[in-house]
Structure 1
């Protein structure tokens, strides 16, 4: 009967002037889901048959999931981004009435590719898999101008509890990916495991506890390694890659380069915005986690989540009121609650930007990630999860690095960044922003980010281009034009 109805509708569409695009999109998606399901079924059968006829000591692994490239129109973000946000929207609206007006803003529930399309940009979505089986979404903005920088490649990695959307929040003219694309960069925006664009695994269910047993350690060792390998493969090039990482995005790079030094050979320069490595001088509510970081009690895990960190995307109101001063919209936001920089007056903010910000942030992450940072705060060392004696070897990080910090940042403090500066092998500069109300999140989507941060980032990239022109080496020979501020 279903086949007969489908045939009748197709005949009607072919012979009458009827708009059937939605029908064909649904039909296409339906058959695509069937094909994916059948493929997975046969792969599982093949795997289990191999298990039955192979010796126990050498089981045959399941077939690897090949990376795929999809254009924006082919990727079903309705099931990933919108559902992720909408499932808690009603609850937020009940407790915080301001959410009702924000949700009605057209861009509030748009995904990163949808925002890019709105901004007049062409964005690709690539799905890649890591060595430990996580499926990650990697967004790409091709250069707007041809051969301006010989199609130089750059990775922009989001920060703590963030996503690729963080980089395009400022709109079509002030967002760093667009600025870089306009001058010829091939821009790649990774999404770390656990955020709403990277919630998949070839074996584990997303709602299982084992799926969420990761921290920034795995993001560096597996996620970022997979991203760099994939980009080099797609471009079929050995050209060095530039890297800009904010917050946790900087942490992931330091982990990768210290644990797998060969990746130092693939990068030309690293620009770290408010990097989180040494964190002895952290201020604010995050300090309260440090005493319980190694053996968190059940009461704490019940409050912040055993798997995903604050899965409701909203801090309890009583906790927000106790530790935070400012609009409840921000105090109840887990990222703003932890990182500080709560705006006291939002009347000058555009409603559309406020809606994008509060519906995109936080984008999700694991509780283990937060506990790992808390352990670092407590130990005063940059070390592996649950092991303060196993420190990351920062002297193995040889990529030239420029560090950014702010006097108003609770998490990435100036003294801690000075310690990082003298711990890596090839520091370029430590650029400090003083007295500008530049909090931890303002480095990416702050109103003054373009003027205070991005222009200086471009200076570092430009100077790096001149230094490394005609050379494959990533060693800096003359740093006289830069100074420690």
Structure 2
């Protein structure tokens, strides 16, 4: 009875003040949003070596593809990895013609979208759940070592492939940089690495992270010491409330400040979808993950998590954390960056990526006036970035097929 009265009161409030309804996508998961737009979608469960349970989302078919078979090996496989405080939603935030996940599906790719540990779709563990502090004992080190390893292995086994194409955004690029640097054999599993807003070192980072700087690092270290392995998340009801508020057209400009404060810019967003964006973003992660990035700002190195001299000896057998050696990477890598991106700074890209990976950088593309989130949320990203990526991957896939046919003949 109370719920009914509350619903009636809310409806009356909307009628009196002419309040706009929240977009239904606010309450949908990634597979449900795909079906909402008419796409076939699948949810797959993956278990990591350290017993986290991850959920992968798959779009095996183009829209209205009548003869689509998910097991069709003719389709190239693409794997999409989101960044910090994000999840798989970042690849389907806009209309289908503007969202990477749908654009690649319509281009006849077998699309797989990752959800790192801690995100809403991947908050499960064999031994304990997200209410247990042990669940949140991770940074992007574990995402590279365990999540990426298990997810790519599962996708390759499911699709009967030896390799695939990888698209990473922000921390999604760092996860692959770390994995390829640490595991030489993994290079063979990635045909091409497409890095959107790539980050490795963050010595020149701007925005909210620069503003917080060392003060936040000191605060986070104290907090982790007193409350080890703390989640960094918003209560779901708060996030839905923000999404509803920002669905109101009269509040679009105010709500856009939230993203601009962190990112520095929001020029390419669809402001009418701000409520949907903010219902799903930011997504949950661990405080330890954010602290790891603050450590990189302080050390100006691309290194593993710093546990302190004693902790490093226990964890790594040395007093300082090991550095990820990007010179060991052999996978053809394509960079997409912008001078207007204050989080993936051009000096950091030059010093930590271009200088170290000069022999494996297949192409480096500068995008004018792109902020950090524009690479996945920008309404122009499909025409500016995704279509050329598709052409590059198709060309490579055609060459691969020709080689396989020649081997079959001889």
Q: Shorter-chain TM-score: which interval? A: 0.7 to 0.9
Q: Find 2:160's aligned residue among 229, 232, 236.
A: 236
Change (3 A) 1:394 1:459: same
Q: Find 1:136's aligned residue among 50, 54, 76.
A: 54
Q: Partner residue of 2:142?
A: 218
Q: Report whether the alignment pairs 1:262 with 2:180.
A: no
Q: Find 1:427's aligned residue among 361, 369, 385.
A: 361
The gaps in structure 1 that reach 5 residues or longer are: 1-99, 318-325, 473-485
Contact 2:213/2:294, CA 8 A, preserved across alignment? yes
Contact 2:83/2:169, CA 8 A, preserved across alignment? yes
2:168 is paired with a residue of what secondary structure? strand
1:444 Cα deviation from its structure 2 partner: 0.5
Distance, in Å, in 2 between the alignment partners of 1:381 and 1:331 is 31
Give the stretch that moved more between structures: 383-392 or 250-259: 383-392
Contact 1:258/1:395, CA 8 A, preserved across alignment? yes
Q: Partner residue of 1:174?
A: 98
Q: Find 2:271's aligned residue among 343, 349, 364.
A: 349
Q: Partner residue of 2:3?
A: none
Distance, in Å, in 2 between the alignment partners of 1:298 and 1:275 is 26
Q: Partner residue of 2:246?
A: none
Q: Find 2:296's aligned residue among 376, 393, 397.
A: 376
Q: Report whether the alignment pairs 1:245 with 2:168.
A: yes
Q: Find 1:456's aligned residue among 365, 385, 388.
A: 388
1:127 Cα deviation from its structure 2 partner: 1.0
Structure possessing the higher radius of gyration over alpha carbons: 1
2:105 is paired with a residue of what secondary structure? helix
1:423 Cα deviation from its structure 2 partner: 1.1
Q: Partner residue of 1:109?
A: 27
Contact 2:220/2:287, CA 8 A, preserved across alignment? no
Contact 2:133/2:228, CA 8 A, preserved across alignment? no
Q: Partner residue of 1:329?
A: 255
Q: Report whether the alignment pairs 1:440 with 2:355.
A: no
- For residues 361-383 of structure 1, the C-alpha deviation after alignment (integer angstroms, 9 at most, x for no partner) is 11111111111111112211110
Q: Partner residue of 1:31?
A: none
Contact 1:151/1:184, CA 8 A, preserved across alignment? yes
Q: Find 1:358's aligned residue among 270, 278, 290.
A: 278
Distance, in Å, in 2 between the alignment partners of 1:267 and 1:180 is 17
Q: Report whether the alignment pairs 1:390 with 2:322.
A: yes
Q: Find 2:112's aligned residue among 175, 188, 192.
A: 188
1:210 is paired with a residue of what secondary structure? helix
1:255 Cα deviation from its structure 2 partner: 1.3
Please give the residue correspondences for 1:122-133 in structure 2 after superposition, counting only pairs within 5 Å. Answer: 122-133=40-51
Contact 2:204/2:347, CA 8 A, preserved across alignment? yes
Contact 2:134/2:229, CA 8 A, preserved across alignment? no
The gaps in structure 2 that reach 5 residues or longer are: 1-17, 243-251, 308-319, 405-410
Distance, in Å, in 1 between the alignment partners of 2:275 and 2:20 is 5
Change (3 A) 1:468 1:131: same
Q: Partner residue of 1:47?
A: none
1:331 Cα deviation from its structure 2 partner: 4.2
1:165 is paired with a residue of what secondary structure? helix
1:310 Cα deviation from its structure 2 partner: 4.3
2:271 is paired with a residue of what secondary structure? coil
Higher relative contact order (CA 8 A, sep 6+): 2
1:104 Cα deviation from its structure 2 partner: 2.6
TM-score normalised by structure 2 residue count: 0.78
Distance, in Å, in 2 between the alignment partners of 1:306 and 1:131 is 20
Backbone CA RMSD of aligned residues: 3.0
Distance, in Å, in 1 between the alignment partners of 2:197 and 2:396 is 20
1:237 Cα deviation from its structure 2 partner: 3.0
Distance, in Å, in 2 between the alignment partners of 1:455 and 1:205 is 40
1:106 Cα deviation from its structure 2 partner: 2.1
Higher helix share: 2
TM-score normalised by structure 1 residue count: 0.67
Distance, in Å, in 1 between the alignment partners of 2:396 and 2:297 is 33
Change (3 A) 1:464 1:312: same
Q: Number of aligned residue pairs: give it.
A: 354
Change (3 A) 1:103 1:201: farther
Q: Report whether the alignment pairs 1:280 with 2:203.
A: yes
